[in-house]
Structure 1
């Protein structure tokens, strides 16, 4: 066997440049970059060293043979020609991986099968003994790559991928692979900072991947030192004495590194469920003396061990895939920017993000950006020097002003001079006056964002007096007033509920996204609401009962007030909140007219109209809906206001329920969905098609002199003309629109219907 080998080092896309630098430093010669790989020449010692020390590679492949290939027969005979008896025993185990296509092989499974057949046939003994397949832990893992008619046959020295260091047995929802985390640290300059004795902090550390990789770099620990199983362990070409020598050298270097005074490496994580798994990972890596993990929010994160310590803040904020994440992510980035500016002056920062536009919302410029891939997701690494002249304040400053800011910052970070303790006349020490609370910066708004904020403040000023007079603390403050900011914004006491209307296809998605972030930045300032109390949802054209489908499972209810009643809303779990704000005038009308009457609420949803009827002195209320979830919610709404007796809740298909009912009611309210195809009902309900039958059934239950109110929000709805021949029908839409919906008079239509 040759003393020099061709090696292929595979890596995640985007790491090739860093990997070639690392590999050359570890002894690889004639190195060249390929897509997601580096190729070069090396002796066995260098191959082992790459396995042990590479922080960036996925696999180290030792090329056994290259050969031209036109078809499956060429593949079989090319593999058969290798002296496999030099590599494994006849009774060994084998796994084959095949990549690429062409030369008549477009199925990787078929290609792998041909490679396996050739190896097995070559090693089959006269007694029939032959290698068997073991895909999990084989003695030998063979890889064949087909590249433009050439087959590259390799032995995988790594075994399992080198990113699997062995310490991370517990992980969070979306962890970075260890070699990607190491690459980000290297790009961020951590090896230099660590050599200078700098600190490292991760304010969103998850289970600690950045922390452990940083600790291993700082302590000079080989990333795969603790790995037990290798791809070369059972390989007949393995040189145990050489491997032992290199492993002992790496162990000695790690021992020497860990004997040094540990650097200050700290992680902070808001989710308490991840704290112990993170600490367990740190312990398995042997870095418990170097790394500490604490529970804490980004907004309160304090990275400095002392005033003079400098270092690197590094983090991988969540990318956001759930309903409402846009708001929480924007505010997360804003909080991160605030903490960097307030607590990390003169530090360096590295933010790895799948949402680079959000990086611009931190209020601090990046001086470098690098592109990476996290799996299939394109990402950016933003490198930041936390200096005043990098802060985005929206003000033009002279060089003299910037110098003054730097001097002020240096003064503020200087060590405090101990003051002489003072005592009162009784001999007790006088406590020093508390330091003033830090001023929390408001996010700088763009020109468009400021215009949007001005509109919100104007609307709030006009509507808040009306709402207070009416005893209402939940109302709409904005409804696409400015076409470029297409959303509805509702106040629910001290919460803000934002519904983004999906932009038409003619609008550039990037512009739409930028405007959304502008609006989200403006909302807390304009409405004087804490960022954590803003919930955003995306409202698309609805089909069926999509608006009623569960979106989350937080189960958090908020109490609001309307016309003297208390109601429960859920701002997070469903697209709608449990309270249709536009029907407020109808609910208040029902409350005024309900005294002594038998009230029927069909398609009752959370029975808010029934609560108002009960508040108005209804003799009884009956609420019908198909959903048990909403009837349970209705029961809570009634109980919250002290109503339980004489208030029936009926689960069932409204049409079927009406056909079976023989009771009479003095006041009926119907607000049906546009469309419903629930599995718990027979057929499909369509409000345009079925409203005549619905109203006829309901009017049959209306007592003499009674009133039926009918409404719906289907924009194209047309009430059947012949209904006016049988009943007294009056459209009252204009009387059911409050000031907060005055801009959107088509939010719903409503009719008052009585017997002739």
Structure 2
């Protein structure tokens, strides 16, 4: 054996430059980059050091020989020319890994078989016995690569891949390999930030891989310090004394590093099921004093370093594996950007994603991007400096959005008829009346007009800078021609009275609904708009359905649920787009469960939750509510039920009629109500009568008047609501 060896280090694609720098610092001479590996020369001491300290490599291979190959038989002969008694005990075990093809070898299994036969035949001929084959834990692992008629035979010194540090026995649904996590941290500048005493926070930490790799770097702990067995452990060329010295040095460095004041490293994870696995992984890595993990939604992410230092925000947010709805991902990334701008000013950030276009939704310009691979998936690491000059201002984004949607030229106002002028005056009066209340309430959606003037039978709702107009079907006693004329008068008045272009007015006709017509698609624009309600953002669609996704009259009920939700298990039945669940989550609900029969509306609900930074731990269930209640055995502290008046969906077992079926529905729901819990029941059937037997069974209080906001005072019969509790 010579003092210098050719060494090959394999790695994930995209890490070659980083690995080259790392290997050079660990003693590898003349390192050269190749696709998914580097090669250079070094002593056995260098090879050991690379095994112990490389945070980026998959394997460290010691090249035994290179030779030309023209046939399978020549491969056999050349392999036999190596004296395998110098490497392997006769009673030992071996495994062969063969890659590449050519020279009549088009099957890697066949190539591995020829190599194995050559080694085994040589040792049996020389010593009368042969070693065993052990593919999982061999004493010696031989690697042969065949490319363009050239074979490279190497000894695998690492054994199992070096990314398997040994601490991660539990992992989440989309695990990040440890060496890729280390590369993300190195590219993001963590070694520099840690040396300067900076902090690190991961707002979506999963089982803690990024946190642990950051801790190992900051504490100067060799990533494979505690690996029990190596590929060289039973290799006959192994020098135990040399290895022992290097290992002892690494132990000493780790002891000194871990005795320093710990770096501030924190992780936050919305899914409560991942918290304990993350803490277990951290403990196995020996970093319990350095890393803390907390359960928390992205909406609440706000790092507070102990010593007030800045640092690095780093994370691997989902990009298709963890959340199935693409729109939800858009809002997730946008919310991540908002939290970074609001809570991490002056920090740096590294966001690793397989969907870099989502990074553009964050509202912060990245100053560098690096191409990396997560397995076979091409990804990018986006680097940010969280400073105001890098922000893409929310106001600017909104202005851009408005500019794209606005007409090329402002419409010329036509003279209004007498009736239209009268209608415009009423709209201006209402607008002035509501302006202070709207600003004080922090809402962008409200009912401006609701058939205030009987001859103009319209409901007019403001949605930010859009207007949603619903025409009530005129009674048969009204001349259709006159009704049409009044509608045209109203439509001509709205743009001038409200200063909104006609292109931003959406008109629908409201008729008595039967079956599921209320929920049927009217158009297919897929045009969703964000609106604000208090501190929350919600999605509305003004075009595609008769209803917009937000029942404005239930605003006080949603705010009441938010105020009462802290620490409670919340159940939302007939949840529609789950706006009440979003409010409950904002109010600190321990969990929310939202049930509806419509997949379309549950997808919408998922987007509403994601838009506000709430994860899928807020459960969404597609089911017939009555049937689901008959099967469910969970308890809930707070329940909200707002059923349709009538439903005969094909996916239901039967027909639901709120008047006929509300007693059975409420009895079922009350069996799921925890002791001391509260159920809120509401519906908008004008002729609804609550069955008196419910008053005998439960404590029932009608709260309809308390749930009518200022914009619905003209129409107090818009809905009725009750507060129901179990009798003491």
User: TM class, shorter-chain normalised?
Assistant: 0.5 to 0.7
Residues 482-518 of structure 1, C-alpha deviations (whole Å, 9 max, x = no match)? 899999467586599xxxxxxxxxxxxxxxxxxxxxx
Supply the distance in 1 between the matched residues of 2:298 and 2:618 (Cα, whole angstroms). Answer: 24
Q: Residues 221, 240 of structure 1: CA spacing in aligned structure 2 closer, same or farther, 3 A cutoff?
A: same
Supply the distance in 2 between the matched residues of 1:451 and 1:641 (Cα, whole angstroms). Answer: 48
Q: Which ranges in structure 1 are unaligned for 5 or more consecutive residues?
A: 397-441, 497-522, 539-551, 561-565, 570-583, 592-600, 618-635, 644-756
**Residues 1:134 and 2:141 are matched in the alignment:** no
Shift of 1:463: 3.7
Counterpart in the other structure of 2:656: 611
Q: How does 1:17-166 map to 2 (within 5 A)?
A: 17-124=17-124, 128-166=128-166
Asked whether the 8 Å contact 2:323–2:329 carries over to 1, the reply is no
Supply the distance in 2 between the matched residues of 1:478 and 1:44 (Cα, whole angstroms). Answer: 73
Supply the distance in 1 between the matched residues of 2:214 and 2:527 (Cα, whole angstroms). Answer: 48
Q: Residues 186, 320 of structure 1: CA spacing in aligned structure 2 closer, same or farther, 3 A cutoff?
A: same
Q: How does 1:646-665 map to 2 (within 5 A)?
A: none
1:556 corresponds, among 621, 637, 640, to: 621
Supply the distance in 2 between the matched residues of 1:260 and 1:307 (Cα, whole angstroms). Answer: 15
Aligned-residue Cα RMSD (Å) equals 4.0
With 483-492 and 313-322 compared, the bigger mean Cα shift is at 483-492
Residues 85-141 of structure 1, C-alpha deviations (whole Å, 9 max, x = no match)? 110111110000000011110100000000000110111156741011001110000
Q: Residues 16, 489 of structure 1: CA spacing in aligned structure 2 closer, same or farther, 3 A cutoff?
A: farther
Supply the distance in 1 between the matched residues of 2:132 and 2:369 (Cα, whole angstroms). Answer: 49
Asked whether the 8 Å contact 2:624–2:652 carries over to 1, the reply is no
Counterpart in the other structure of 1:479: 523
Counterpart in the other structure of 2:368: 368
Supply the distance in 2 between the matched residues of 1:161 and 1:493 (Cα, whole angstroms). Answer: 51
Asked whether the 8 Å contact 1:219–1:257 carries over to 2, the reply is yes
Secondary structure at 2:60's aligned position in 1? Answer: strand
Secondary structure at 1:75's aligned position in 2? Answer: helix
Asked whether the 8 Å contact 2:47–2:60 carries over to 1, the reply is yes
Q: How does 1:587-606 map to 2 (within 5 A)?
A: 604-606=650-652
Asked whether the 8 Å contact 1:568–1:637 carries over to 2, the reply is no
Residues 443-498 of structure 1, C-alpha deviations (whole Å, 9 max, x = no match)? 776358756999976887224988999699964686235899999467586599xx
**Residues 1:536 and 2:603 are matched in the alignment:** yes
**Residues 1:231 and 2:256 are matched in the alignment:** no
Asked whether the 8 Å contact 1:28–1:46 carries over to 2, the reply is yes
Supply the distance in 2 between the matched residues of 1:366 and 1:495 (Cα, whole angstroms). Answer: 39
Secondary structure at 1:23's aligned position in 2? Answer: helix
Supply the distance in 2 between the matched residues of 1:102 and 1:475 (Cα, whole angstroms). Answer: 62
Q: How does 1:160-559 map to 2 (within 5 A)?
A: 160-306=160-306, 308-321=308-321, 324-393=324-393, 446-447=401-402, 461-463=468-470, 475=519, 479-481=523-525, 488=544, 494=550, 535-536=602-603, 556=621
Q: Residues 85, 381 of structure 1: CA spacing in aligned structure 2 closer, same or farther, 3 A cutoff?
A: same
Supply the distance in 2 between the matched residues of 1:464 and 1:237 (Cα, whole angstroms). Answer: 88
With 330-339 and 228-237 compared, the bigger mean Cα shift is at 330-339
Residues 509-558 of structure 1, C-alpha deviations (whole Å, 9 max, x = no match)? xxxxxxxxxxxxxx999xx99999985389xxxxxxxxxxxxx9956369
Residues 349-377 of structure 1, C-alpha deviations (whole Å, 9 max, x = no match)? 11101111111111111111111110111
Q: Residues 58, 567 of structure 1: CA spacing in aligned structure 2 closer, same or farther, 3 A cutoff?
A: closer
Asked whether the 8 Å contact 1:567–1:640 carries over to 2, the reply is no
Supply the distance in 1 between the matched residues of 2:362 and 2:283 (Cα, whole angstroms). Answer: 33
Residues 388-419 of structure 1, C-alpha deviations (whole Å, 9 max, x = no match)? 111111667xxxxxxxxxxxxxxxxxxxxxxx
Asked whether the 8 Å contact 1:567–1:637 carries over to 2, the reply is no
Secondary structure at 2:77's aligned position in 1? Answer: helix
Supply the distance in 1 between the matched residues of 2:226 and 2:46 (Cα, whole angstroms). Answer: 19
Question: How many residue pairs align between the two structures?
Answer: 505
Q: Which ranges in structure 2 are unaligned for 5 or more consecutive residues?
A: 408-443, 446-461, 473-507, 530-540, 553-576, 587-593, 595-600, 606-616, 630-643, 669-728
Q: Residues 444, 188 of structure 1: CA spacing in aligned structure 2 closer, same or farther, 3 A cutoff?
A: farther
Supply the distance in 2 between the matched residues of 1:321 and 1:126 (Cα, whole angstroms). Answer: 54
Asked whether the 8 Å contact 1:157–1:232 carries over to 2, the reply is yes
Q: How does 1:694-709 map to 2 (within 5 A)?
A: none
Counterpart in the other structure of 1:749: none
With 125-134 and 38-47 compared, the bigger mean Cα shift is at 125-134
Q: Residues 287, 325 of structure 1: CA spacing in aligned structure 2 closer, same or farther, 3 A cutoff?
A: same
TM-score (structure 2 length as normaliser): 0.63
Higher relative contact order (CA 8 A, sep 6+): 2
Supply the distance in 1 between the matched residues of 2:351 and 2:527 (Cα, whole angstroms). Answer: 33
Q: Residues 484, 155 of structure 1: CA spacing in aligned structure 2 closer, same or farther, 3 A cutoff?
A: same
Residues 32-90 of structure 1, C-alpha deviations (whole Å, 9 max, x = no match)? 11110000000111000000000000000000000000010111011000011110111
Asked whether the 8 Å contact 1:524–1:530 carries over to 2, the reply is no
Supply the distance in 1 between the matched residues of 2:175 and 2:292 (Cα, whole angstroms). Answer: 19
Counterpart in the other structure of 1:408: none
Asked whether the 8 Å contact 1:16–1:34 carries over to 2, the reply is yes
With 464-473 and 116-125 compared, the bigger mean Cα shift is at 464-473
With 151-160 and 471-480 compared, the bigger mean Cα shift is at 471-480
Secondary structure at 2:121's aligned position in 1? Answer: helix
Shift of 1:331: 1.9
Supply the distance in 2 between the matched residues of 1:604 and 1:524 (Cα, whole angstroms). Answer: 22
Q: Residues 370, 637 of structure 1: CA spacing in aligned structure 2 closer, same or farther, 3 A cutoff?
A: farther
Residues 553-595 of structure 1, C-alpha deviations (whole Å, 9 max, x = no match)? 95636999xxxxx9999xxxxxxxxxxxxxx9xx97xx9xxxx
Secondary structure at 2:384's aligned position in 1? Answer: strand
Secondary structure at 1:124's aligned position in 2? Answer: helix
Residues 133-177 of structure 1, C-alpha deviations (whole Å, 9 max, x = no match)? 001110000000001110000000000000000111111111100
Asked whether the 8 Å contact 2:602–2:620 carries over to 1, the reply is no
Q: Residues 489, 69 of structure 1: CA spacing in aligned structure 2 closer, same or farther, 3 A cutoff?
A: farther
Asked whether the 8 Å contact 1:9–1:39 carries over to 2, the reply is yes
Q: Residues 189, 101 of structure 1: CA spacing in aligned structure 2 closer, same or farther, 3 A cutoff?
A: same
Supply the distance in 1 between the matched residues of 2:546 and 2:513 (Cα, whole angstroms). Answer: 16
